Structure 1
Amino acid sequence: MISELTRVLLDANIIAKPVTRTLLVVGGVPSGFRAFWSRAAEREAQVHMRPKALPPSSVRERFGIVLGPTGTGAERFGGTKGADRQILADAAAAGARFLVTEDVDDYGLDDLASVGISAVNPDLFLATRLTRDAYSTVIDLFVERQLNPPTTAAQFHAAIAKNHPRLFAAHADLYDIEPERGIHGEPEVIFRGTRCLRCEQIVAAPAAIIDGLGPECR
């Protein structure tokens, strides 16, 4: 069984990104949420991972991640794209409150609202939910394993900004270093749903949610 921490399902495109995945998996529990994924997401992620990358199944074993259940009735999510319907069905079956994905706009608002799940870009989610202590712990873990070439915690923090500028900004004063600049800009859609990212309450008017936060949490 998945614990009673806030349940956060990771999409395949997140599972395939080692740094983002580790921030969510390792930093999640001390931050009050538990990141996991489903069999469908794991299969899709494996297809897109580099040949020598650690398989998602091995990552699960290393960190004690329990696969979420396989949801039924995926066809009811008509406003969601193709294979993502099964991912949303899996998230609903697991009782997830959030679905972290790089493709937020693949999920239909009505579909998400019908099961009380919000789809969130990983940078926005991490910047809002990851605690400073958890962030520091994950950075130290990466630095410990990064031997060739070696890197410092400050350098790794700066590198985080390339793909997670919001997360870097949230902890910018942790180290005295300038952020590395990313190549890609932020997606146009970084949040979709009716559940506030901070208080986790359902907001009646989705248009009132800005950057994942309802009026009372901004």
Structure 2
Amino acid sequence: MNSSLDFTELASIISLNSYTKNKAGVDHNADIFNAWMEQLGFSVETHRREAIGNHVHYLSKKSEGAKLLLLGHLDTVFPPDTFTEFREDKEWIYGPGVCDMKGGNYIALAALRNVFAEQGHIANIDMLLVSDEESGSDDSKLLTSELAKAYDACMVFEAAGPIMMWLSLARVLRLFKSNSKVKALTRVIIIPTVLMRTWLQLIC
């Protein structure tokens, strides 16, 4: 890909099979993400499951103001030994989950890293990664609906059309416009929104 961006980290999770029914692979994906998020000061709350991968909830420090939840999933639709290769050319990168949605999770991580670098900490922004979205979220939907009650807004980092992305952006910006950390929070929202379509140019 004709870019100065380093996709080594992203490639490490794309190359890891995390088919929904592959609990070991899904949990390994979570373990890698846990390490990245802990470096940013997040604590990790693991909702353990026996038959499927664990769901993970990343918690930041809390202060006054609106609370934002970033939402993603760890699983993909590809069984082991079917579609596993990560590769890139001059315009695109390819692999299982580059769009749906390991790439989306990674964009959220990149935005959070930018906020941490500028502010020195992250507050009021949590992230939930579930393990069973591709099979219908039969287990995680109850957990998600319960946890969501604690937040003022939620952003999902799976690829979407431009209209839905900008509508979501406008809604969240309205919620956070009076917050003292609005500059940092705006970057959390705008960076992944723009990058989703033009920066990484991720495709399934």
Structure 2 length as normaliser, TM-score?
A: 0.31
- Higher helix fraction: Structure 1 or Structure 2? 1
Q: Larger relative contact order (C-alpha < 8 A, sep ≥ 6)? A: 2
- Higher strand fraction: Structure 1 or Structure 2? 2
